[in-house]
Structure 1
Amino acid sequence: MNNIIRVAIADDDAIFRSSLYEVLAAREDIELVGTASDGLRLLKLLETRPVDVALLDVDMPRLNGIRTAELIAERYPKTAVAMLTAFRDENSLSQALQHNVRGFFTKDLSGEDIAANIRKVAAGETVLGNRPSQIMVQHFVKTSSRKRDPGLTDAVNNLPRHLRSVFDLLVQGLPNKAIAQELHLSDSTVRSYVSALFDATGYRTRGELMMAAIDAGDGLRQANTQRLQS
């Protein structure tokens, strides 16, 4: 079985890009497919070489990381995307989540930590660094007191029990394989249930659904309490 993770890097900082390349190239289970100074060059690279994980900076010339992630999701759905940067605001993080970005970690991590995060992303996990985690908490605090759209709460409250169980784990960031293990289901069954969740809630990606669940906050918890008591 081939366990090599094929990685491509896009960052306009040539020194950082070169340094990261050397660090990751030393890992036996990681193959560096190539590097690019912006999103357009990375997309050109993806046209010719299969990539398992694309590491993107958010701020790049010509085509930034958010737009690049969106195009990768459309054109290369099997390529996982991770943002390797310092997120400054919830808008960037929210946009990245909407395009199914799986990893959010900062450039000051050690090479071993970055490699470990790449392995997690390649395995289907969602990885949040300290700063992105803080932004999500701040987003939750800011939205916890405002009036929310009841649409998601209503949709979730009407889910059949088997889909609600999957929803509860999905919005915690668990990948399909972990959900399958937790609920004692096959991977194909979980994929089918996740697709049904998207249809039922009207969301297209896990990231969108996670952010919407944060916005819904107490409404979802109250719905869950009522479901357990019924």
Structure 2
Amino acid sequence: MIRVLLADDETMVRAGVGAILAADGDIEVVAEAADGHEAVEQVRRTRPDVALLDIRMPRLDGLAAAAEIRRVRPETAVVILTTFGEDAYVERALGEGANGFLLKSGDPRELIAGVRAVAGGAAFLSPQVAKWAIARLSGDGRLSRAAGARERIAALTEREREVLALVGSGLSNADIAGRLHVVEGTVKAYVSTILQRLGARNRVQAAIAAYEAGLVSGDRE
């Protein structure tokens, strides 16, 4: 069972998102919060697998709450729930290491897929957010970022680059283990080493490095 904390200052949104999650028999909403501070306290108390956080909340916004949750319980994966067009928030969140990004206007199936993905150790971007991120990587400064990413990735072994490419493709540790015919613990060790060598906070940042360096194609729907 995947245990989820749901934090949003709008009661109707919490009810709607909670109903979608409850429809999946493997997901349980164990706590709700109306602001970022309460979300952090609920994480301390209930120890969920996933914290689903709105960006705009009183007292402590979703990004600040995400940073605090990573500090007090790094085992809890953080998914940011955002509204399309909040590019500045998405960019900041990408830099601060959230595990996933979902749009409130997205397909309910994306919500389930995103929660499942991050609970399994993968990163998840809704298609619209992924396209925005990829477009950003193709904009100003692309060449310098690509050169920097290639330089960092050059320090990885061939196997580590292979694992990084699979991380960039959105595969979970279990999926990568199956693809490479190794045990999941071995994949976890590889990912930990890759994050450390790249200076990445989590799999989303590692995936972006994989895109920038050309290990993964941005041509996807």
Unaligned runs of 5+ in 2: 217-221
Q: For residues 209 and 114 of structure 1, what CA distance do their matches in structure 2 show?
A: 22
Structure 1 position 164, deviation (Å)? 1.7
Q: Per the alignment, in what secondary structure is the counterpart of residue 122 of structure 2?
A: coil
Q: Percent identity?
A: 34
Q: 1:201 aligns with which of 176, 198, 201?
A: 198
Q: Per the alignment, in what secondary structure is the counterpart of residue 83 of structure 2?
A: coil
Indicate if the aligned counterparts of 1:53 and 1:79 stay in contact, CA closer than 8 A. yes
Equivalent pairs counted in the alignment come to 216
Structure 1 position 42, deviation (Å)? 0.7
Indicate if the aligned counterparts of 1:89 and 1:135 stay in contact, CA closer than 8 A. no
Q: For residues 90 and 123 of structure 2, what CA distance do their matches in structure 1 show?
A: 13
Could you say what the CA RMSD is over the residues aligned between the two structures, in angstroms? 2.5
Give the stretch that moved more between structures: 70-79 or 94-103: 94-103
Structure 1 position 107, deviation (Å)? 1.7
Q: How does 1:79-228 map to 2 (within 5 A)?
A: 79-109=76-106, 111=108, 113-143=110-140, 145-148=142-145, 150-217=147-214
Q: Report the AA paired with residue 38 of structure 1.
A: D
Match of 1:228 in 2: none
Indicate if the aligned counterparts of 2:83 and 2:105 stay in contact, CA closer than 8 A. no
TM-score, structure 2 normalization: 0.84
Q: Report the AA paired with residue 162 of structure 1.
A: R
Q: Report the AA paired with residue 78 of structure 2.
A: V
Deviations 1:183-224 (A, max 9, x none): 11211211222222223223332222223343445xx68xxx
Match of 1:70 in 2: 67
Match of 1:227 in 2: none
Q: Which of 1 and 2 has greater Rg?
A: 1
Indicate if the aligned counterparts of 1:99 and 1:207 stay in contact, CA closer than 8 A. no
